[in-house]
Amino acid sequence: MPLMAHLKELRNRVFKAAIFLLIGSIAGWFLWRGWKAGWGSFEGVFQYLQQPLLDFAAAKGYSNVALNFTQVGQAFDLAVKGAIWCGVIASSPAWIYQLWAFITPGLTKKERRYAIGFIAAAVPLFLAGAAIAYLVLPNAMRFLIDFTPVDAANFIGADIYLSFVMRIIMAFGLGFLMPVVLVGLNFAHLLSGKAILKQWRISVFMSFLFSALVTPTSDITTMLLLACPLLLLFAIATLICLANDRRRGKNSSEPDYAQLSDDEASTI
């Protein structure tokens, strides 16, 4: 594809992803605030996100820990922000597919079926990362709130706390997607398993560096809770790529662009 065609493809993919994100954000507005109806009720995502803080405060016997709204319109601003955040998670199957479709627009009809496996693996891993992050939150709360002096009150700004929580959950979710991207590039003939295996030291370093940067707390426990699953997923992704390379080697009809040097002319 020429450069302009790639740019048009990018525009179309971004537009489609934005449409799904908008639909997800509309649904996210109701998910964030919750609802009560005759057929059932839902407390809302906001209640679930603040629950780790309230549970930890109750377990410690702290009566001076609470979320604080400091401005008149802050609750509405946070509701909009929360709705968009819920929309990102709710529409994750759609925008993850658009990402994959943009990376591999030149696949054959047979190879495009790999997209089904990509989405089937990527979406559960993204949601699993978000779920693990939610389980990590009490540990993060314990680390941060324990520094509060005995005679002091810890009225946490709602915007600061929710940004903190959203950042952890999104970081864990996106971190769990990285190995899936490696497998996708391998199946698209863009990256070999041997190349991934050769750079295993860099993968280990980048996993710990990524974990240290995206986790808001400075304790090593939270960093390890993200780094260790990442390393395991990288190992599984490497094994899958090596197995796919071996399968591809037995089928000489399949091209292997990853083995070409940057200056070598292709057969196109």
In the prediction, which pLDDT does 202 show?
83
Rounded Cα distance between 49 and 142, Å, is 15
* Residue 162 banded pLDDT, cuts 50, 70, 90: confident
Taking alpha carbons only, the member of 164, 128, 167 closest to residue 53 is 164
In the prediction, which pLDDT does 19 show?
93
pLDDT, one tens digit per residue, over 30-53 is: 888 877 666 666 778 888 888 877
Whether 225 contacts 132, CB under 8 Å: yes
pLDDT higher than threshold 90 for residue 23? yes
Whether 228 contacts 210, CB under 8 Å: no
Higher-pLDDT residue of 82 and 222 is: 82
In the prediction, which pLDDT does 254 show?
55
Rounded Cα distance between 22 and 205, Å, is 36
In the prediction, which pLDDT does 20 show?
92
In the prediction, which pLDDT does 15 show?
92
* Sign (positive or negative) of CA dihedral 169, 171, 172, 173: positive
In the prediction, which pLDDT does 104 show?
64
pLDDT higher than threshold 80 for residue 142? no
Please, which residues have CB within 8 angstroms of residue 260's CB and are 6 or more apart in sequence? Answer: 266
